[in-house]
């Protein structure tokens, strides 16, 4: 038989292999910081065994059950239980591959896992709009991942009974749950626990399964931030006009839309009349100002009948991301560096000499700042040779700011920052774990006493004074860390374009 | 050139040639190498000629701000072009950072006052925006009235100040058509945007060692000095 050139078949095989396993290349680009964060989240929520499972699946994406058992060293039953929990909480997703002998392959659902740090934002949003009982319902659905309506409402009832004095009926809870569903915060799902663990016959199909719909939250957050951005850039009136446009066709269809639905001039006037009647005479003017602005966030798509207007989310994401990146450069490197960076961003490709001229800085300073940014990979150099001999004297060296790369790099930094904050919090709570347990016991005793009708000051103090001080210090630390995490989450929202582009 | 001859006393042929070349370069000056190329004189000879002319105060040497190693020659009386001296921003060869900063702040205050005034007098936002715009001439007049500048600033230099404010994010630039179809640039102050990205509020966001940071490493979150300081704050 003719010997086929091994090189060509080898290359062909490799291509086929890579195209089938295209997830491999995207995972290999995934930064260590994301990997660390996801494992840390799994460890926090489910313990070290699940964390090890998550780590294994991260490293060997598209794993089969057999792969996981082999690599983790756990027995089959343990791995099954882990996968069950992780699938329920949407850390891991599975799919059956193959036609003749279908086999289940597991991968990490990065998109969902990385929304975990955003949960406090979701909860506070629901609390703001629907009250503290709705907050508890949402918290329980988040805790349980995928759950039935009855299960979650029973847990809520139990929680409310132990903490509040007034009794809440199951019916009022049910109606509140329905409100949350109608607003799109909670959605129905058909996804179930791992089929390899529970035999299909035992699955209870009479109860619908529910889970939190993060897309709705992303859409609301996007709208809130957009209106805030407009308020800061223009004024309150412009922000009101934009919020009217967004509310006219408030879509819960989700965050992936690049543009909002169109609102006609008449609809805007009508909306303004009910919201802020004093702005009605200036509506046309505000729309002109918004449409003529460089940012292009509000656009006119038709002219007749006073015009039809849309809000361009894509443009907003671009501007908002650029704004965050510039702010990060300003805080990290200083005002002068920020000016130099802005010049490069505005001019797209520019020579060192030209930057120095535009920056109104001494030539040496401008050079230092430029190369400082270059060393930190905030700027890149492009060589443009004028002569075929590639001589450096006759080459243009052009600086440019790779915004997309920067976005990904800074996103990776955000995830690392969240991970670091979590590590410090974990260690702090571990060091003071005895104290924390003691304080929980003290709180439980106080609660019991108040339920029995004994005033709490009659109880003996379980904690000493120094212990109380230490505990207060620990809690203050945890609070600072939590606030820090929320700040970073703000940047994550901007850099992921409110959930529309995750880290690749 | 015969007039110059008479002024500086007798000059030999070489000196006349060199002087003519330097005169032709105007107020941009000419580099020694270029004079040699144009005059076809030997270097040592040329240097002697230049020394003589300098002692007669017929020519002078000027060091451009950007390239302090080079030296250009020009006629003694001619005023060096701003590309050599750096214009109003350079005093001798020192960049006047303080002067530039103060001027920038004053111009920004002027623009912000225009903005505040326009917002108060016009409730229509489009009209307010038109009223708060200023062009370069108005800013130039404002600076002259201030009287803090020793020299009269050129329009180009005023534009540089305004552009630096645009890049700092305080001012916005728009173009309008003026008389005769000429494009005029207008500037207006933008509303102050207080946004600081959340990432910069935690130590990791501004840490220069983040790439080396790893749990259990020499640089780690639990042993981090910046983190400790931030938590104690």
Structure confidence by residue, pLDDT tens digits, B67-93: 667 788 888 887 777 666 667 777 666
* Closest chain A residue to B96, measured at CA: A362
Q: How far apart are CA B186 and CA B167, in angstroms?
A: 15
Judge: A424–B191 Cβ closer than 8 Å, yes or no. no
**Which of the residues B123, B128, B194, B198 would you substitute to probe the A interface, choosing the one with the greatest number of A C-beta atoms within 10 Å?**
B198
* Closest chain A residue to B231, measured at CA: A477
Statement: residue A198 has pLDDT above 70: no
* Closest chain B residue to A482, measured at CA: B202
CB-count exposure of residue A375 (10 Å: 0-12, 13-18, 19+): exposed
Q: How far apart are CA A134 and CA A2, in angstroms?
A: 73
Long-range CB contact pairs, B210-213, < 8 A, 24+ = B210/A413, B210/A416, B213/A416, B213/A420
Contacting residues of B for A339, CB less than 8 Å apart: 164, 167-168
Average pLDDT score over chain B: 83
Lowest mean pLDDT among A126-140, A238-252, A285-299: A238-252
Residue A186: in which H helix or E strand, if any? strand A186-189
Statement: residue A397 has pLDDT above 80: yes
Q: How far apart are CA A37 and CA A421, in angstroms?
A: 10
Q: By percentage, how much of chain B surpasses pLDDT 70?
A: 89
Lowest mean pLDDT among A114-118, A164-168, A211-215, A490-494: A164-168
Chain segment A87-111, per-residue pLDDT in tens: 888 888 888 888 888 888 898 988 8
Q: Which two tokens stand for residue B130?
A: 């038109």
Statement: residue A166 has pLDDT above 50: yes
The pLDDT confidence band at residue A5, using thresholds 50, 70 and 90, is: very low
Cα–Cα distances (Å) from B45 to A142, A338, A356, in that order, read 89, 51, 38
Statement: residue A6 has pLDDT above 70: no
Statement: residue A115 has pLDDT above 80: yes
Average pLDDT value for residue range A62-82: 89
Statement: residue B7 has pLDDT above 60: no
Average pLDDT score over chain A: 84
DSSP per residue over A439-502, as a string?
A: HHHHHHHHHHHHHHT--GGGSPPSS-HHHHHHHHHHHHHHHHHHHHHHHHHHHHHHHTTTTTS-
**Residues 287-306 (A) with a CB less than 8 A from some CB of B:** 288-289, 294
Contacts of A422 (CB under 8 A, 6+ apart): A37, A40, A41, A44, A485
Is B211 near chain A, with CB under 8 Å? Answer: no
Q: Are A55 and A72 in contact (CB under 8 A)?
A: no
Average pLDDT value for residue range B41-62: 84
Q: Are A401 and A382 in contact (CB under 8 A)?
A: no
**Which of the residues A224, A345, A420, A492 would you substitute to probe the B interface, choosing the one with the greatest number of B C-beta atoms within 10 Å?**
A420
pLDDT reported for residue B230: 92
Is A336 near chain B, with CB under 8 Å? Answer: no
pLDDT reported for residue A256: 66
A336 or A25: which leads in pLDDT = A336
Q: How far apart are CA A139 and CA A145, in angstroms?
A: 10
Q: How far apart are CA B129 and CA A368, in angstroms?
A: 38
Q: How far apart are CA A461 and CA A159, in angstroms?
A: 26
Average pLDDT value for residue range A167-184: 87
The pLDDT confidence band at residue A346, using thresholds 50, 70 and 90, is: very high
B179 or B114: which leads in pLDDT = B114
Average pLDDT value for residue range A260-275: 87
pLDDT reported for residue A54: 92
* Closest chain B residue to A340, measured at CA: B167
ipTM: 0.78
B66 or A37: which leads in pLDDT = A37
pLDDT reported for residue A94: 87
Chain segment A405-452, per-residue pLDDT in tens: 999 899 999 999 999 999 999 999 888 888 888 888 888 888 777 777
In 3D space, the residue among A174, A185, A195, A178 whose CA is nearest the CA of residue A88 turns out to be A195
pLDDT reported for residue A9: 54
pLDDT reported for residue A194: 44
Q: How far apart are CA A30 and CA A47, in angstroms?
A: 23
Q: Are A245 and A268 in contact (CB under 8 A)?
A: yes
| Residue B115 exposure: Cα atoms within 13 Å on the Cβ side | 18
The pLDDT confidence band at residue B50, using thresholds 50, 70 and 90, is: confident
Q: Using the 8-state DSSP alphabet, how is residue B153 labeled?
A: P
In 3D space, the residue among B35, B96, B36, B86 whose CA is nearest the CA of residue B63 turns out to be B86
Statement: residue B169 has pLDDT above 60: yes
Our measurement of the distance from residue B71's CA atom to the centroid of its chain's CA atoms, rounded to an integer in Å, reads 20
Chain segment B96-131, per-residue pLDDT in tens: 888 888 999 999 999 999 999 998 998 888 888 888
Residues in a beta bridge with B188? B172
Long-range CB contact pairs, B223-232, < 8 A, 24+ = B224/A420, B224/A424, B227/A420, B227/A424, B227/B203, B229/B203, B230/A480, B230/A484, B230/B202, B230/B203, B231/A424, B231/A477, B231/A480, B231/A481
Place of tokens 């446009």: A245
* Closest chain A residue to B216, measured at CA: A423
Chain segment A448-467, per-residue pLDDT in tens: 777 777 776 766 777 788 88
Chain segment B54-66, per-residue pLDDT in tens: 888 888 888 776 6
Chain A closest-CA separation from residue B22 CA (Å)? 27
The pLDDT confidence band at residue A224, using thresholds 50, 70 and 90, is: very high
pLDDT reported for residue A3: 42
Q: Which of A289, A427, A477 sits opposite B129 (nearest CB)?
A: A289
Chain segment B180-197, per-residue pLDDT in tens: 888 888 998 888 776 788
Q: Which of A420, A488, A490 sits opposite B213 (nearest CB)?
A: A420
**Which of the residues A242, A355, A359, A417 would you substitute to probe the B interface, choosing the one with the greatest number of B C-beta atoms within 10 Å?**
A417
Statement: residue A20 has pLDDT above 60: no
Statement: residue B4 has pLDDT above 80: no
pLDDT reported for residue A21: 46
């Amino acid at each position: 038989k003719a010997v086929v050139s091994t090189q060509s078949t080898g290359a062909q095989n490799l291509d086929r292999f890579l195209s089938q396993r295209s997830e491999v290349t995207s995972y290999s680009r995934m930064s260590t910081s994301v990997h660390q964060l996801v494992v840390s989240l799994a460890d926090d929520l489910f313990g070290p065994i699940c964390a090890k499972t998550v780590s294994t699946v991260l490293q060997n994406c598209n794993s089969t059950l057999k792969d996981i058992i082999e690599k983790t060293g756990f027995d089959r039953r343990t791995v099954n239980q882990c996968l069950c929990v992780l699938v329920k909480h949407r850390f891991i997703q599975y799919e059956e591959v193959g036609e003749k002998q279908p086999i289940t392959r597991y991968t990490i659902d990065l998109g969902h896992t990385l929304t975990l740090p955003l949960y406090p934002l979701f909860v506070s949003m629901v609390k703001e709009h629907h009250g503290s009982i709705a907050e508890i319902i949402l918290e329980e659905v988040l805790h349980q991942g995928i759950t039935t309506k009855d299960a979650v409402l029973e847990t809520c009832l139990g929680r409310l009974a132990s903490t509040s004095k007034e009794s809440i009926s199951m019916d009022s809870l049910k109606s509140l749950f329905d409100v949350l569903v109608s607003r799109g915060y909670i959605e129905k799902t058909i996804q179930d626990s791992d089929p390899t663990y529970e035999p299909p016959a035992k699955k209870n199909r009479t109860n619908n399964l529910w889970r939190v719909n993060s897309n709705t939250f992303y859409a609301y957050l996007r709208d809130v931030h957009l209106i805030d951005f407009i308020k800061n850039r223009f004024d309150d009136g412009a922000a009101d006009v934009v919020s009217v446009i967004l509310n006219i066709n408030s879509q819960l269809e989700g965050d992936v839309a690049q543009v909002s639905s169109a609102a006609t001039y008449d609809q805007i006037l009508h909306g303004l009349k009910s919201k802020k009647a004093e702005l009605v005479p200036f509506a046309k003017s505000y729309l002109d100002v918004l449409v003529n602005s460089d940012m292009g966030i509000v656009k006119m798509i038709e002219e007749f009948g006073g015009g039809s207007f849309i809000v361009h989310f894509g443009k907003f994401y671009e501007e908002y991301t650029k704004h965050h990146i510039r702010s990060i450069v300003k805080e990290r490197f200083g005002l002068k560096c920020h000016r130099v960076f802005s010049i490069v961003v505005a001019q797209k490709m520019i020579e060192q000499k030209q930057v120095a001229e535009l920056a109104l800085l001494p030539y040496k300073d401008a050079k230092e700042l430029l190369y400082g940014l270059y060393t930190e990979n905030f700027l890149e150099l492009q060589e443009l040779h004028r002569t075929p001999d590639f001589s450096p004297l006759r080459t243009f060296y052009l600086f440019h700011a790779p915004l997309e790369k920067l976005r990904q790099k800074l996103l990776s930094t955000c995830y690392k920052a969240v991970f670091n904050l979590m590590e410090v919090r974990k260690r702090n709570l571990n060091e003071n774990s005895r104290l924390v347990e003691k304080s929980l016991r003290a709180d439980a005793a106080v609660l019991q006493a108040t339920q029995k009708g004994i005033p709490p000051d009659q109880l003996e103090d379980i904690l000493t004074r120094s212990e109380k001080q230490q505990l207060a210090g620990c809690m203050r630390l945890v609070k600072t860390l939590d606030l820090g995490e929320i700040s970073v989450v703000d940047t994550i929202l901007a850099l992921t374009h409110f959930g529309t582009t995750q880290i690749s | 050139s015969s007039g110059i001859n008479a002024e500086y006393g007798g000059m030999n042929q070489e000196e006349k040639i060199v002087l003519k070349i330097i005169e032709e370069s105007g107020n941009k000056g000419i580099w020694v190498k270029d004079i040699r190329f144009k005059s076809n004189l030997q270097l040592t000879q040329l240097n002697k000629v230049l020394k003589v002319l300098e002692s007669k105060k017929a020519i002078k040497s000027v060091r451009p701000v950007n390239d302090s190693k080079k030296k250009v020659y020009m006629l003694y009386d001619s005023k060096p072009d701003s590309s050599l001296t750096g214009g109003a921003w350079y005093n001798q060869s020192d960049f006047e950072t303080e002067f530039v900063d103060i001027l920038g702040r004053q111009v920004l205050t002027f623009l912000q006052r225009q903005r505040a005034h326009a917002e108060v007098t016009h409730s229509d936002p489009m009209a307010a925006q038109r009223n708060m715009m200023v062009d370069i001439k108005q800013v130039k007049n404002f600076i002259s009235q201030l009287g803090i500048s020793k020299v009269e600033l050129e329009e180009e230099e005023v534009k540089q100040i305004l552009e630096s404010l645009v890049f700092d994010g305080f001012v916005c630039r728009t173009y309008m058509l003026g008389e005769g179809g000429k494009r005029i640039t207008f500037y207006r102050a933008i509303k102050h945007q207080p946004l600081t990205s959340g990432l910069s509020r935690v130590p990791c966001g501004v840490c220069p060692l983040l790439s080396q940071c790893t749990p259990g490493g020499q640089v780690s979150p639990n042993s981090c000095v910046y983190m400790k300081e931030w938590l104690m704050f």
